[in-house]
Amino acid sequence: MLQTKTKNRTLYRSALGIAGLLLLVILLENITALIPGMPAIFQPTSQLFTVLKKGAVYSLVAVSMNLLNGFTGLFSLGQAGFMLLGAYTYAILTVPMAAKDQVYYLYGGSAVKFSLVDLFESFLGTSGAGGAVAMILAVLVGLVAAGLVAALFAALIGLPVLRLKSDYLAIATLGFAEILRAIFQWQTLGPITNGANMIKSFPTFSDFNIKNAGGQVLLRLSTFVPFFVAIVCIATIVLLIHSSFGRAFKAIRDDEVAAEAMGISLFQHKMLSFVISSFFSGVGGALFAMYVANAQAMVFTSTMTYEILLIVVIGGIGSISGSVIGTFLYVACSEWWLRFLDMETYIGSFKVPFLRSGFRMVVFSVVIMIIVLFFSKGIMGDKELTWEGVAGWLNKLKSKKKLTEKEG
């Protein structure tokens, strides 16, 4: 009874925290309209919102990778490939029919004579509330389809590759991602994938901004959307980890022989973890396409997978909150805080040495090496950020402050 009450209290606090976070995101994005004269950092085009949007997308992919690498003990490097599948699935299905000829102009139009946007608009209308609902439904179905296609491919390649272990599994999944990238740039598939060219003109985050009849933005929701989708997906992964399936994943990670002795089917649970992780990577890929407003295979390189893996290591393998914290720190450093290192700087006639294009990544690499060397378990290790933990930390600070005041 007491355990149930504690669990309900935790869920209630979590729900309140998530609602508060989403409201804060909406407020931040619209604060310049509410309070004129705010600093440039709060402008919708500032690096702050770039970090928030990309951070939300990468958080989902990092958590999906942690489910596989951290909680199931499978070393997979196929994340970029599943993101590619998700991005292209979403883009191909949601490009409006009216834009297909322009997007696929090199191939005389698209071979896919279908669009989710047009399908829902045919039932709900193209303007007003009906048009808005049609776009939202098209995006939601597109995101789910992106995840399902990635999951289907994961199930197909999982049959042979999941019988491999450790580095061999990593090499196989990395090879799969690279093969996919090459196939999607194949000119023969151009009428579907647009070859090496980008697919664009599909619904993006900015399309969720509420506008008046004159096209003026009344309420910005372009940062809220990736946050909302990422939170829903991550919450689903958290629930899975705390279920009987999650406990089976951890048992396989800790000791496969002991897990099998307890009656856990190793292959079935590995396949389940691999498919679920790939599903959310596919959704993350679709969100990434919405973030950059295009889908192009050449973007989904092995470097992207290494970035996600690095985020998981920095945050802590086996920690969901660690992956999220690590993501926003990584994105903020790479996209914002260290950008001044790429700019040539003069003090009078003296040119500051080293500050030039590319120096940012040198410093960033050194910082990452220091973190990995001195914080081998990452920021959170295998622990999670909880309400009880935060409350305990605050109480310790209060106790230290009182003790200092008494001694003074």
Distances (CA, A) of 395 to 30, 196, 227, 407: 34, 57, 30, 18
362 in a structural domain: no
How many CA within 13 A on the CB side of residue 283? 31
Coil, strand or helix at 217: strand
| pLDDT, position 11 | 79
CA–CA separation, 134 and 118 (whole Å): 8
Position 353: which residue type? P
What number is the average pLDDT over the span 371-385? 82
Distances (CA, A) of 330 to 7, 96, 368: 32, 35, 9
225 in a structural domain: yes
CA–CA separation, 311 and 332 (whole Å): 12
- Alpha helix (H) residue ranges in 214-265: 224-241, 244-254, 256-261
Percentage of residues of the chain with pLDDT beyond 90:
67
Per residue in 39-49, pLDDT tens?
889 998 899 99
pLDDT at 408 over 60: no
| pLDDT, position 71 | 93
Range of the domain at 384: 2-337+378-407
Per residue in 312-326, pLDDT tens?
999 999 999 999 999
Domain count of the fold of the chain: 1
Percentage of residues of the chain with pLDDT beyond 70:
96
269 in a structural domain: yes
pLDDT at 3 over 70: no
Position 4 confidence tier, pLDDT thresholds 50, 70, 90: low
What does the mean pLDDT of the chain come to?
Answer: 90
Claim: this prediction has a pTM higher than 0.85: yes
pLDDT at 356 over 60: yes
Distances (CA, A) of 341 to 122, 352, 378: 51, 10, 25
Per residue in 288-341, pLDDT tens?
999 999 999 999 999 999 999 999 999 999 999 999 999 999 999 888 888 888
| Residue with the two structure tokens 């910005």 | 220
What number is the average pLDDT over the span 18-33? 93
| pLDDT, position 148 | 98
400 in a structural domain: yes
259 in a structural domain: yes
354 in a structural domain: no
Residue 378 contacts residue 396 (beta carbons within 8 Å)? no
Six-digit token string for 375: 């914080």
For 32, counting Cβ atoms within 10 Å of its Cβ (0-12 exposed, 13-18 middle, 19+ buried), the class is: middle
pLDDT at 387 over 80: no
Chain-centroid distance, C-alpha 354? 33
CA–CA separation, 110 and 81 (whole Å): 23
Least reliable range by pLDDT among 53-67, 151-165, 241-255, 379-393: 379-393
340 or 19: which leads in pLDDT = 19
| Residue with the two structure tokens 């001694």 | 407
| pLDDT, position 136 | 96
Q: How many residues does the chain have?
A: 408
360 in a structural domain: no
Position 1 confidence tier, pLDDT thresholds 50, 70, 90: low
Residue 300 contacts residue 288 (beta carbons within 8 Å)? no
| pLDDT, position 134 | 95
Six-digit token string for 267: 């292959």
CA–CA separation, 204 and 293 (whole Å): 6
pLDDT at 195 over 60: yes
Six-digit token string for 226: 């990736």
